[in-house]
Amino acid sequence: MRFMVFVRSSGPLAALHGDELLRAGVLLDAGDFVPDACGVSGFWLIDVRDREEAVARMKRIALPACVVEIRQVAVV
């Protein structure tokens, strides 16, 4: 299953932990969005077994003072 993980932080995110997800073999894509008034947002597109694995992988990554949202991506 594919999940889009959105993370809002005070600094760039994609390169911050992308290597960890890449080594695990679950990272499909990553990027940073243009900064706005709320800070910087980025995303990771990951491919894992289920939502529980997606949540577990995000808990293993140190994301201090970040807002994290995980959404399943429909594959057509």
Give me the number of domains the chain comprises.
Answer: 1
Fill in the amino acid letter for 30.
A
pTM over 0.75: yes
The range of the structural domain enclosing residue 46 comes to: 2-73
pLDDT digits (tens, 9 = 90+) for 22-50: 888 999 998 877 776 667 788 899 999 99
Residue 50 three-state SS? coil
- The strands making up 40-47's β-sheet, listed across from edge to edge, are 27-32, 40-47, 2-9, 67-73
Q: Which CATH number characterizes residue 43's domain?
A: 3.30.70
CA dist 61 and 21 (Å) reads 9
Predicted local confidence at residue 56, as pLDDT = 94
Predicted local confidence at residue 11, as pLDDT = 63
Residue 15 has pLDDT above 60, yes or no: no
Predicted local confidence at residue 76, as pLDDT = 81
